[in-house]
Structure 1
Amino acid sequence: MRKLGTMLGTLLLVSALLIMTACGQKEGTTSQTASNGSTPALKDVQVVLDWTPNTNHTGLYVAQQMGYYKDAGLNVEIIQPGQSGADTLVASGKVPFGISYQESVTQARVQGVPLVSIAAIIQHNTSGFAAPVDRGIKTPKDMEGKSYGAWGSPVEEAVMKSIMDTDGGDVSKVKSVNIGDADYFTAVKKGIDFAWIYYGWTGIEAKLRGEPLDMLYVKDYSPSLDYYTPVITTNEQQIQKDPELVKAFMSATAKGYEYAIANPDKAADILIKAVPDLDPKLVKASQEWLSPRYQDDASQWGLQKEQVWKGYADWMYKQKLLEQPLDASKAFTNEFLPAPQTSK
Structure 2
Amino acid sequence: MKKTWKKTAAWLTAAAMTMGMGMTALAEDAAESELKEVTVILDYVPNTNHTGMYVALDKGYYEEEGLDVEIIEPTDGATATLIAQQKGTFGIAYQEDVTIALTAEDPLPVKAIATIIQHNTSGFVTLADSGIESPADFEGKTYAGWGGPGESAVLEACMTQAGADFSKLNMVISDGSGFEALGKSCDIMWFFEAWDSIMAEMNGCELNYMACRDLDERLDYYTPIIITSDAVIESDPEMVSAFLRATEKGYQDTIADPDGAAEILSSHAPNYDLEMLKLSQEYLADKFMEDTDTWGVMKDEVWDNYSAFLQEYGIIDEVLPADQCYTNEFLPQ
Please classify the TM superposition score into its range, dividing by the shorter chain length: 0.7 to 0.9
The count of corresponding residues between Structure 1 and Structure 2 is 306
Q: Describe the superposition over 1:24-53 as per-residue Cα deviations: whole angstroms up to 9, x where unpaired.
A: xxxxxxxxx953567782222110111000
**1:170-319 equivalences in 2 (<5 Å):** 170-179=165-174, 181-319=175-313
Shift of 1:161: 2.1
- Kept in 2, the 8 Å contact 1:250–1:336? The answer is yes
Point out where structure 2 has 5 or more consecutive residues left out of the alignment: 1-25
Q: Describe the superposition over 1:276-306 as per-residue Cα deviations: whole angstroms up to 9, x where unpaired.
A: 1222121011101111101111221100001
Looking at structure 2, the residues matched to 145 and 205 of structure 1 have their Cα atoms a distance apart, in angstroms, of 27
Q: 1:72 corresponds to which residue?
A: 65
Q: Please state whether the residue corresponding to 1:277 is helix, strand or coil.
A: coil
Looking at structure 2, the residues matched to 323 and 115 of structure 1 have their Cα atoms a distance apart, in angstroms, of 19
Q: 2:93 corresponds to which residue?
A: 100
Q: 1:145 aligns with which of 140, 147, 158?
A: 140
**1:158-173 equivalences in 2 (<5 Å):** 158-173=153-168
**Over aligned residues, Cα RMSD in angstroms?**
1.7
Q: Please state whether the residue corresponding to 1:130 is helix, strand or coil.
A: strand
| Compared CA separation, residues 117 and 127, structure 1 to 2 (3 A) | same
Q: Flag the structure with larger Rg.
A: 2
Looking at structure 2, the residues matched to 85 and 325 of structure 1 have their Cα atoms a distance apart, in angstroms, of 22
Deviates more, 1:83-92 or 1:68-77: 83-92
Q: Please state whether the residue corresponding to 1:45 is helix, strand or coil.
A: strand
- Kept in 1, the 8 Å contact 2:55–2:253? The answer is yes
Q: 2:318 corresponds to which residue?
A: 324
Q: Which amino acid aligns with 1:158?
A: A
Looking at structure 1, the residues matched to 281 and 207 of structure 2 have their Cα atoms a distance apart, in angstroms, of 19
2:130 pairs with 1:157: no
Percent identity of paired positions between Structure 1 and Structure 2: 44
| Compared CA separation, residues 273 and 38, structure 1 to 2 (3 A) | closer
- Kept in 2, the 8 Å contact 1:97–1:233? The answer is yes
Q: Please state whether the residue corresponding to 2:156 is helix, strand or coil.
A: helix
2:74 pairs with 1:81: yes
Looking at structure 1, the residues matched to 96 and 212 of structure 2 have their Cα atoms a distance apart, in angstroms, of 14
Shift of 1:171: 1.7
Q: Which amino acid aligns with 1:160?
A: L
Looking at structure 1, the residues matched to 263 and 31 of structure 2 have their Cα atoms a distance apart, in angstroms, of 34
- Kept in 2, the 8 Å contact 1:34–1:41? The answer is no
Looking at structure 2, the residues matched to 233 and 34 of structure 1 have their Cα atoms a distance apart, in angstroms, of 34
Q: Which amino acid aligns with 2:40?
A: V
Shift of 1:187: 2.5
Q: 2:115 corresponds to which residue?
A: 120
Looking at structure 2, the residues matched to 246 and 90 of structure 1 have their Cα atoms a distance apart, in angstroms, of 14
Q: Please state whether the residue corresponding to 1:69 is helix, strand or coil.
A: helix
Point out where structure 1 has 5 or more consecutive residues left out of the alignment: 1-32, 340-344
